[in-house]
Amino acid sequence: MTTLADILRGIEGGVFPAPDFEVEVVPAPSPRESCVVAFTAHIVVAADVDPGWVAERIPAGDLSAPLNPPFLLALEQLIGRRVNAIDAMLLAPALSDPAERAAAVADLTELTDHTHSRIVRAWRYRDDVRAYSDPYGGLVVIGNGLAGRLEGALEVPQDARGKGHGRRLAHAARALIPADAHIWAQVSPGNAASLRTFLAAGYTPVGAEALLVD
């Protein structure tokens, strides 16, 4: 049986689901999370639900319905979870050049104190969380999130914004993972500044997701 992990690993290798206007139902990736993930002309509902239940609520060929409130509310009620956010998914390969990797992380310091609110939040949704700070008070957090994928998140202090620090941290995240890996970022479509930051750091939009959590 195809899993969400299979689909995401395929995308990391450049293989996307076929644009067949289908809604595919696969098991929830973990006890911690379920989701609805949208790709070009293909939707994946990753939840422990009957495919027939999904088909009854999504008109054939309507690929906007799975990420619209009526379906998401019904799914929330069925599985007893809540939608955390609807985000754009972005993906980037690790930096492979050793010199570029070293330069990207040269001014970062790994944090052992994980009481920062951004890090606490990361532990709610990710495993094996690592966090790094820069001299400007910025933070980059790496961890294994949805279906085990490597995910990165950033925080830049208000007084340090607009100076390229976010783009530098997003770039650094690509050096904080194995050289043969990929890193994902989830960004609210309305957060235009964050979207521009990740795009400038070499991340590519690959889809959208609604994550349902406890």
Tell me the pLDDT tens digit for each residue of 38-49. 999 999 999 999
Give mean pLDDT, residues 12-16: 97
pTM of the entire predicted model: 0.94
pLDDT of residue 196: 95
Least confident of 13-27, 112-126, 132-146: 112-126
pLDDT in tens, 143-178: 999 999 999 999 888 776 787 788 999 999 999 999
Cα gap 24→86, rounded to integer Å: 18
Indicate whether 118 pLDDT > 90. no
Give mean pLDDT, residues 129-155: 95
pLDDT of residue 162: 80
- What topology is assigned to 89-205 in CATH? Aminopeptidase (3.40.630)
Residue ranges of the domains in the chain? 4-86, 89-205
Confidence of residue 1 (pLDDT cuts 50, 70, 90): confident
